[in-house]
Structure 1
Amino acid sequence: MSDERQRRSWLASANGHADFPLQNLPLGIFSHDDGRKRGGVAIGERILDLQGALQAGVFQGLARQAAEAASTDCLNDYFALGSTARQALRAALLALLDVSSQQREALEPLLLRSDECQMHLPARVGDYTDFYVGIHHAHNVGKLFRPDQPLLANYKYLPIAYHGRASTLCVSGTPVHRPQGQIRPDPSQPPTLAPSQRLDFELEAGIWIGPGNAQGQSIGIAAAPAHIAGFCLLNDWSARDIQAWEYQPLGPFLSKSFATSLSPWVVSPEALAPFRCAQPTRPAGDPQPLPYLFDSADQQNGALDIELQVLLLTERMRSAGQPPQSLAVSNTLFMYWSAAQMVAHHSVNGCKLQPGDLFGTGTLSGPQPGQYGSLLEITGGGRQPLVLDNGEQRSFLECGDEVILRARCRAEGQVSIGFGECRGRVLD
């Protein structure tokens, strides 16, 4: 790991890059002038075209097999190969893009300007599951509706989740249309069909599934990390007024299924390894996880220290040339359950996971103001509007508002890496 920390690239824009230095090397799907989707690697301000690199003959052995799988119009086959192939490709890329590489002349023409490329969803998602592992969000929201019992009895025994809608997952930059559905603002009156007036964002991380399991066979928690292909940012847009009327007894439906935004780059477990740490100590009196959810290695090294940020750019800010305003800074350390625990629980009943499946963590808020990952929390359910620096007020999102998610990993002695952005602008 010390060698990797010291490495620099012959591509100048990679050295010191806020998101994509040599130590990151996330994969994604892009298109350039011809509109053809294919796999690429983010490095500095450029994207390395994997199809071009394959044609140049710079990969060998298992790294070539992985590059071939990652060079197509989706990463599903690459995810299916698992960690050994992924690590082989990463090692090859580190060597090829290192300042000492002998392949600079062959690779330089294959580095396309990222601002001239269009990004696409990284994979074909068969199933999308949204968890609820942000305990402070669960407590904050529960307190709004159940002051005496914010968390339900099952919360600390199992990772709660619901099945989302894969067909409306969209890549960063895709506009989000305000949904309509049944709302009931006056409990004494029947519901009406209307556009949502309480549109919200949710600050989440996404988890991409790699190799799956056979139906009827569960994934043990010790093996669960091998089934995780990477991570991204995720905004699970929420229509709070539609949700309030529809969610009992089966949970969210139309209030969530209209759009979920994803950042386009898949950050690998290997790039995140320097930022792993022990799971936060549970409060005294909390139950011990059941055996299928408990693994000593996961407890000691299963959490990730990723700083998460949500920003808002309104139409007035945009017109005035003002930058977006930060609304909250949170962290993945506020997850009550780890990614491995989510995989183990999801499959314990024999549910079949497949390469390219996607998990959302649920909103990751902190315990303090300034760490809340939704407007529902920031505004106390809309009762205390947020006053922005330019004087505008927001209880919930308005037409033209653009929500921007960012993430950063920092640790002493390590090269900082990021996730890029997850953006979505509200259209009525």
Structure 2
Amino acid sequence: MTPTTRPTTWLDVAAEHPFGIDTLPYGVFSTADDPVRRVGVRIGDLVLDAGAVAAVGRDAGLVGDGPDLATAWQTPSLNAFLALGRPAWTTARQWLTEVLGQEVHRDGVSPHLHRLEEVTLHLPVEVADYVDFYASEDHATNVGQIFRPDNAALPPNWKHLPIGYHGRSGTVVVSGTDVVRPSGQRKGPNDPAPVFGPSIRLDIEAELGYVVGGATELGTRVSVDEAPDHLFGVVVLNDWSARDIQAWEYVPLGPFLGKSFATSVSAWVTPLEALASARVPLPGQSDPEVLPYLRGDAFGLDVHVEVSIDGTVVSRPEHAGMYWSPAQMLAHLTVNGASLRDGDLFGSGTISGPTRDTRGSLLELTWNGTEPLTLQDGTTRGFLEDGDTVTITAWAPGPGDARIGLGEVVGTIRPSA
């Protein structure tokens, strides 16, 4: 679309607002007057009670014979909505664009708008399964050089398949939740034996997370071209990592306690449809050529990420440089017949680029603590200290000159329990 054909809104929302009518992300909220959790849609600095408005439209016969959006949205997570599938997601977005865009709906919609500062935001999805991938070649190369300096940086399978591991869905938390420093075993290369205690190399990983809907049966698989029917939307994700625990445990079966203590996600889920203008080609997968099941419309996303620690911007990773596509990751996740569940979440893996200021983890930014960062207050960081607050934000280009905001994910480190 061009700027002249973009939808407009009767609300007083600036054209350049990152949460304008081109964005319309979904979340779950409550208010002091009504503590019941339900689905909301952000428009500017307001939150629309989506279920309440849909109920008005349904009762007035204005929603038609389509899916019962009111019932799906009057629940404490997005899972019921995710279960309706892609046609319902498209219908819902079209309807929301109409009621927020056409002046005739003002009187019916206005009573169901809440100021952003007056709502409490909750985890938007009841996470079914959580998988984290490893899709950045720059990140994988850096980690290989740090952890395996005497071997090839990339393992031999890395360019043949999207590598990932299954995480712990029960420790996925919403932005703003404090993170307690984890404890576990660690052993340095020169230590005679492992010791137990709080992690001293606590790290971040700046990622995007993909929210999945449209459950599938066990024994079936989803192709690359079918993946968009199941990719509902995107969250900003911080995969907190205890590097010292991880380094000691990850051979031979991969990450475990060094990752499973917490994963933070943004409160808003940006629909995949809002990112249509951000689709870009992948950097290239011709050497080697991927196997047929990983071919198809394997699009990348031009998402710009910013990472800050205690107010100091330390990195600006670019998601457009990722080697593997979310569609390929989903296809690989199901190629063995593993089923999808409504509310599944998978992470992109750390978003990193070829230069230091585009690295998405402290492991890379400080080269495993040997090159500390200096913050605005003059203090230095190799890894996170208690009291540090990490903020990751992201945005993408929209239609015309619009900017699509993906929100933020924030977490503060608390001392070990």
TM-score, with structure 2 as normaliser: 0.95
Task: Write the distance in 2 (CA, Å) between the matches of 1:20 and 1:5.
Answer: 18
Task: Give the corresponding residue for 2:113.
Answer: 111
Map 1:357-372 to 2 at 5 A. Answer: 357-372=344-359
How many angstroms apart in 2 are the aligned matches of 1:122 and 1:63?
A: 23
Any stretches of 5+ residues in structure 2 without a counterpart? none
Residues 62 and 89 of structure 1 are in contact (CA less than 8 Å); yes or no, is this contact kept in structure 2?
A: no
**2:81 aligned residue:** 78
Contact kept in structure 1, 2:227 and 2:330, CA below 8 Å: yes
Task: Give the distance between the partners of 1:63 and 1:121, measured in 2 at CA.
Answer: 27
Alpha-carbon distance between aligned partners in 2 of 1:64 and 1:14, rounded to the nearest angstrom: 32
Deviations 1:30-61 (A, max 9, x none): 11113210001000001000232134226502
Report the Cα distance in structure 2 between the residues aligned to 1:386 and 1:3, rounded to whole angstroms.
41
Where does 1:294-305 land on structure 2 (aligned, <5 Å)? 294-295=295-296, 297-298=297-298, 302-305=299-302
Tell me the equivalent position of 2:229.
226
- Cα-to-partner distance string for 1:138-194 (whole Å, 9 max, x where unaligned): 011111123341100000000000000001000000000000001113634211110
Alignment partner of 1:398 is 2:385: yes
Name the structure 2 match of 1:28: 27
Structure 1 counterpart of 2:408, from 389, 406, 421: 421
* Residues 237-291 of structure 1 deviation map (CA, whole Å, 9 limit, x = unaligned): 0000111111111111111111000001111111111111222224x7x210100
Q: Is the 8 A contact 1:82 1:227 kept in 2?
A: yes
Partner Cα separation in structure 1 for residue 384 and residue 145 of structure 2 = 22
- Is residue 202–residue 241 contact of structure 2 (8 Å, CA) maintained in 1? yes
Q: Kindly indicate whether residue 152 of structure 2 is the aligned counterpart of residue 165 of structure 1.
A: no
Matches within 5 A, 1:308-387: 308-313=305-310, 324-387=311-374
2: CA distance, partners of 1:189 / 1:143: 24
**More divergent stretch after superposition (64-73 vs 187-196):** 64-73
Counterpart Cα distance in 1 of 2:64 and 2:336: 37
**Stretches of structure 1 lacking an aligned partner (at least 5 in a row):** 314-323
* Mapped pair 1:174 → 2:177: yes
Instruction: Indicate the larger mover: 69-78 or 376-385.
Output: 69-78
1:275-314 Cα deviation digits (max 9, x unpaired): 11222224x7x2101000011x33xxx111111111111x
Kept in 1: contact 2:284–2:323 (CA 8 A): no
Please give the root-mean-square deviation of Cα atoms over the aligned residues, in Å: 1.6
What is aligned with 1:124? Answer: 126
What's the secondary structure of 1:220's corresponding residue?
coil
Tell me: CA distance 1:14–1:380, structure 2 relative to 1, closer, same or farther (3 Å). same
3-state SS, counterpart of residue 56 of structure 1: helix
**What's 1:6 paired with?**
6
Deviation at 1:3, TM superposition (A): 7.2
| Cα drift, residue 372 of structure 1 | 0.5
Relative distance call for 1:116 and 1:36 in structure 2 (3 A) is same
> Contact 2:131 / 2:164 at 8 angstroms: preserved in 1?
yes
Partner of 1:96: 99
CA contact (8 A) 2:174 2:267 kept: yes
CA-to-aligned-CA distance 1:310-369 (integer Å, 9 cap, x gap): 1111xxxxxxxxxx1111111211211101101110001000111100000100101111
Is contact 1:9-1:15 (8 Å) kept? no
* Percentage of identical aligned residues: 44
How far 1:23 sits from its partner (Å)?
0.5
- The 8 Å contact of residues 306 and 333 in structure 1, kept in 2 or not, is answered as yes
1:356 partner SS: coil
AA at the equivalent of 2:245: I
Summarize the alignment of residues 234-313 of structure 1 with structure 2, pairs less than 5 Å apart: 234-282=237-285, 286-295=287-296, 297-298=297-298, 302-313=299-310
Q: Is the 8 A contact 1:14 1:43 kept in 2?
A: no
> Could you tell me whether the CA contact under 8 Å between 1:382 and 1:396 is conserved in 2?
yes
Give the TM-score taking structure 1 as reference length: 0.92
**1:15 to partner: Cα distance:** 3.4
Q: CA deviation at 1:225?
A: 1.4
Write the distance in 1 (CA, Å) between the matches of 2:134 and 2:408.
Answer: 22
- Number of residue equivalences: 410
Q: 2: CA distance between counterparts of 1:270 and 1:196?
A: 40
Aligned-pair distance for 1:2?
3.5
SS in 1 for 2:71: helix
Q: Distance in 2 between matches of 1:216 and 1:153?
A: 28
1:14 CA displacement: 5.2
Letter of the 1:136 partner, please give it: D
